[in-house]
Structure 1
Amino acid sequence: MLDGLDRSTLNRTITDSRFSLVRIERLIATSIGVIGLVFGAQTLSIALGAGVVVPGVLGSVYVCVLFGTLGAVILLWFSPRLQRIANTAFALLYLGAIAYWPVATAGVDAPNPAEPWTWYLCAIACAAAAQAFRPVLAVIYIVVTPAVYGITGVIDSTGQIIRAEVALQNALYGSMIGLVIFALIMTFRHAARRVDQARSAAFARYDDAVRQHARELERIQVDALVHDTVLASLQAADRARRPEEASLAVSMASDAIKRLATLDDPLSDVGETASLQSLVSGLEAYAAALDTRFDVVIDPGTDLAIPYPVAQNLYLAATQAMANSAQHAAGGAAAAEVHRRIVVAVCDSDGVAIDISDDGVGFDRLTIDPNRLGLRVSIIERVVAVGGSVELDSTPGEGTTISIRWTPAEARATEGASL
């Protein structure tokens, strides 16, 4: 049972360990795509007006390759992995394009020198590097690329820098913008990794809690089964001094053999729910098997259905209370007449209340051995395991009443508190 539960739990709880990081990467890729579209369109209009002064078709190739790669970055916004490839290509091509700019335009010696239109693509190139490169390489690129642009924008045909202050200003400004973008991307990624780690740890703790809960339920079921069958039958046989006690021991032993041999559930309803009427029928059949009279009363006109595992545990807890009453209520007096009663009713419109009572000898609750399995395991723990509660009212000489309650609301509250 535990193996099956473990597989089911793992299937539900083990998810992608990079759940948040994947979403952040998609957000980064989308942002780069949007920024690339806006600045790329602006830069393209400027480039078509200014152009690149080179012989033949080299200028057209220059523009087409640069903007074609940028177009791939924009079009691949939906896939961070594919965009990473396009970002790598664009970042490298952009660095080569600005380094080649003085050759393509004659630099500041051109007849009508103007600020290189490649400047508007610098922030996109830095963002592409921040997304595609390793952090160290990304920082180096973000520092080097604006510096290269600053130098190539003010260099003449002899290799002399004409306006060093402009080059420094452009380099510092470009690096600052690029580093801000880099810091934002790294911050988002770090936060996403922390969220994923916390999420994985929470799932691991939840999975462990579920398995521990399952083990506890299995222990309760095994302890209760052993007590209800083997120990209860042996105790009844050991205490049998009169024919009616011997008959009770034989009935309990017969029931024990059937349960151990078949391990079938005593309720006939094998669906996901069990009716209240089927629960009452099971209690009546058990009373007949004990050969002890119980007046079974059901709340009239109800067709309430409850989860089958709940009905199963309520049935087993109630039958154990019945067996206890059959064994102990008379107090060993052969002639004692004990009236026993079971009331099954609906509580809180969707819950179940079962009261097992007798007017027998009763007992002092403070004298009960805490290690007694009959009350602690077979009754209380069985009911608590499905989110119910048990109340015991017994006084020496005044009989005993065991009240079992289960409602969906209390069961949900109990499950939430335990996990």
Structure 2
Amino acid sequence: MTTDPPVRPGPLFSPVPRGAVLDGLDRSTLSRTTTDARFSLARIERLIATSISIIGLVFGAQTLSIALGAGVGVPGVLGTVYMVVLLGVLAVVILLWFNPRWQKIANTVFAIVYLVGIAFWPIASGGTEAAAPDEPWTWYLCAIACASASQAFKPVIAVIYIVITPAVYGVTGVIDSSGHLIRGDIALQNALYGSMIGLVIFALLMTFRFAARQVDTARTAAFARYDDAIRQHAREVERIEVDALVHDTVLASLQAADRARRPEEAALAVSMASDAIKRLATMDDPMTDAAETASLESLVSGLERYGAALDVPFNITLDAASDLEISYPVAQNLYLAATQAMANSAQHAGGADAARQVNRSVTVTIQGDEGVDIEISDDGVGFDRLSIEPNRLGLRVSIIERVVAVGGTVELDSAPGQGTRISIRWTAADARAKEGARS
């Protein structure tokens, strides 16, 4: 079941309140402050823990089968204890696959128990397997012990362990009951082979961890850059709103009052001052919800009320009936840009000739299924577009930047003696395309 977005009632007179953009930004980026800086590394550690458990299960089952088939290789109760301790600790390692932190503790215990176990193998077995052609069953746990050390120990300690443990196994596996080393070549072969396997496992773990740390570092830096970029954009939007509000209210009212030479000009100045007071009074209103919408008809009604408040005739029409709803913040910016263009026409289109009759019109046209075009035109004195000073806020900030901020475009056509036409166009497709280009 879906619900329609809330529709903003009433006229679109209130400007975007100061501070709202940054306040919303703080709420939308709050999750970034709780982002785990070790996100990728944590996933790699879970993968390592799971891999050790799987390998431990496979080799542990193989070891148990060989040990039982060979009669354990250690006589009596001692043999049973020997096997139960080694394989019991390994079982704990396997069962803790889901928690790398707990498994690290179990791996530490297993690595130590294994090293102690193979160091005392000649005593436990009495050297009975020294001359046997097959390896003692403890050999199959050597790779797991090296993997456990790689996961649990610091790198330097892990490397030392990986070098020493296979060497200890190689020597103790070929000592007979008299304490003589009877198969030195086999001892060397086992020591080198075991160390090689262990170092390969260690290198893989270190490579995965290093790559994960690099990803986490890059991810954290990207979040920081994104956050800075968003905040800079928010400050720029905030600046546009403040500059536009100052121009639309305070400066425009003062300029109108200063230029008033006729009763109708004085009335216009009073009307603009009244609107300025209303806007300034609503600056601390709550931020507009982006999910709210405004109908095109309410936008036209707002323009009609604004035109009536200017005491200057405007022919305002909606080119075609429509039930189009657009985002309220978008409608708000389009409304404020259009009313600024209307105010400019009311102030400047007549020029210095008090008797000049100026025809002014505002036409709102539907663009496709979800777009709108607002054209403000007059047949007044016009102006040279190239002569506009860059620091003038009325056109650049109050109109153009407001529309561009929501993904729209502004076209200006004017020349001395030829009147002025300002076209404000916004479509949802263009806005999404521009938003995608910025991201």
| Shorter-chain TM-score range | over 0.9
Structure 2 Cα separation of the partners of residues 345 and 339 of structure 1:
19
How many aligned positions are there? Answer: 417
What residue in structure 1 maps to residue 105 of structure 2? 85
Matching residue's letter, 1:306: I
What residue in structure 2 maps to residue 330 of structure 1? 350
Q: Specify whether residues 163 and 322 from structure 1 end up closer, same or farther in structure 2 by C-alpha distance, changes over 3 A only.
A: same
Structure 1 Cα separation of the partners of residues 170 and 289 of structure 2:
83
Q: 2:275 aligns with which of 232, 255, 262?
A: 255
Deviation at 1:151, TM superposition (A): 0.4
Is the partner of 1:415 in helix, strand or coil?
A: helix
Which digits, 9 at most, give the CA deviation of each residue in 1:143-181, with x for residues without a partner? 000001100110112221101111000000000000000
Deviation at 1:398, TM superposition (A): 1.4
What residue in structure 2 maps to residue 119 of structure 1? 139
Matching residue's letter, 1:246: A
Q: Contact (CA 8 Å) 2:319, 2:366: kept in 1 or not?
A: yes
Q: 1:12 aligns with which of 8, 23, 31?
A: 31
Is the partner of 1:57 in helix, strand or coil?
A: helix
Matching residue's letter, 2:220: S
Q: Contact (CA 8 Å) 1:107, 1:113: kept in 2 or not?
A: no
Structure 1 Cα separation of the partners of residues 317 and 108 of structure 2:
79
Q: Specify whether residues 49 and 126 from structure 1 end up closer, same or farther in structure 2 by C-alpha distance, changes over 3 A only.
A: same
What residue in structure 1 maps to residue 318 of structure 2? 298
Deviation at 1:242, TM superposition (A): 1.1
What residue in structure 1 maps to residue 359 of structure 2? 339
Q: 2:153 aligns with which of 124, 128, 133?
A: 133
What residue in structure 2 maps to residue 356 of structure 1? 376
Q: Specify whether residues 29 and 347 from structure 1 end up closer, same or farther in structure 2 by C-alpha distance, changes over 3 A only.
A: same
Structure 2 Cα separation of the partners of residues 3 and 319 of structure 1:
25
Matching residue's letter, 1:363: F
Matching residue's letter, 2:315: D
Which TM-score applies when normalising by structure 1? 0.95
Deviation at 1:201, TM superposition (A): 0.4
Structure 2 Cα separation of the partners of residues 233 and 112 of structure 1:
105
What residue in structure 1 maps to residue 209 of structure 2? 189
Q: Contact (CA 8 Å) 1:52, 1:105: kept in 2 or not?
A: no
What residue in structure 1 maps to residue 250 of structure 2? 230
What residue in structure 1 maps to residue 87 of structure 2? 67
Structure 2 Cα separation of the partners of residues 139 and 261 of structure 1:
71
Structure 2 Cα separation of the partners of residues 269 and 139 of structure 1:
58
Q: Specify whether residues 398 and 72 from structure 1 end up closer, same or farther in structure 2 by C-alpha distance, changes over 3 A only.
A: same
Which digits, 9 at most, give the CA deviation of each residue in 1:83-110, with x for residues without a partner? 1111111111111111121112122467
Are 2:238 and 1:218 equivalent residues in the alignment?
A: yes
Which digits, 9 at most, give the CA deviation of each residue in 1:52-97, with x for residues without a partner? 3545422111111111111111111111111111111111111111
Which digits, 9 at most, give the CA deviation of each residue in 1:202-237, with x for residues without a partner? 010000001001101111111111111111011011
Is the partner of 1:107 in helix, strand or coil?
A: coil
Deviation at 1:45, TM superposition (A): 0.5
Residues 152-161 or 106-115, more deviating: 106-115
What residue in structure 2 maps to residue 152 of structure 1? 172
RMSD: 1.9
Q: Specify whether residues 12 and 343 from structure 1 end up closer, same or farther in structure 2 by C-alpha distance, changes over 3 A only.
A: farther
What residue in structure 1 maps to residue 3 of structure 2? none
Structure 2 Cα separation of the partners of residues 187 and 68 of structure 1:
30
Which stretches in structure 2 are left out of the alignment for 5+ residues? 1-18
Matching residue's letter, 1:414: K
What residue in structure 2 maps to residue 403 of structure 1? 423
Q: Specify whether residues 111 and 23 from structure 1 end up closer, same or farther in structure 2 by C-alpha distance, changes over 3 A only.
A: closer
Deviation at 1:128, TM superposition (A): 0.6
Deviation at 1:332, TM superposition (A): 2.4
Deviation at 1:114, TM superposition (A): 4.2
Q: Contact (CA 8 Å) 2:73, 2:129: kept in 1 or not?
A: no
Residues 126-135 or 157-166, more deviating: 157-166
Are 2:286 and 1:288 equivalent residues in the alignment?
A: no
Structure 2 Cα separation of the partners of residues 168 and 107 of structure 1:
18
Structure 2 Cα separation of the partners of residues 219 and 3 of structure 1:
11
Matching residue's letter, 1:10: T
Which TM-score applies when normalising by structure 2? 0.91
Q: Contact (CA 8 Å) 2:67, 2:73: kept in 1 or not?
A: no
Q: Contact (CA 8 Å) 2:378, 2:421: kept in 1 or not?
A: yes
Structure 2 Cα separation of the partners of residues 132 and 78 of structure 1:
15
Residues 208-217 or 299-308, more deviating: 299-308
What residue in structure 1 maps to residue 122 of structure 2? 102
Structure 2 Cα separation of the partners of residues 143 and 226 of structure 1:
75
Q: Specify whether residues 341 and 55 from structure 1 end up closer, same or farther in structure 2 by C-alpha distance, changes over 3 A only.
A: same
What residue in structure 2 maps to residue 169 of structure 1? 189
What residue in structure 2 maps to residue 44 of structure 1? 64
Query: Following superposition, which runs of at least 4 residues in structure 1 exceed 6 angstroms of deviation?
Result: 109-113, 268-271
Residues 249-258 or 47-56, more deviating: 47-56
Structure 2 Cα separation of the partners of residues 175 and 199 of structure 1:
35
Which digits, 9 at most, give the CA deviation of each residue in 1:353-385, with x for residues without a partner? 111111111111111111111111111111111
Q: Specify whether residues 61 and 271 from structure 1 end up closer, same or farther in structure 2 by C-alpha distance, changes over 3 A only.
A: closer
What residue in structure 1 maps to residue 14 of structure 2? none
User: Which structure is higher in RCO with an 8 Å CA cutoff and minimum separation 6?
Assistant: 2
Q: Contact (CA 8 Å) 1:53, 1:106: kept in 2 or not?
A: no
Taking only the aligned residue pairs, the percentage that are identical comes to 74
Matching residue's letter, 2:186: V
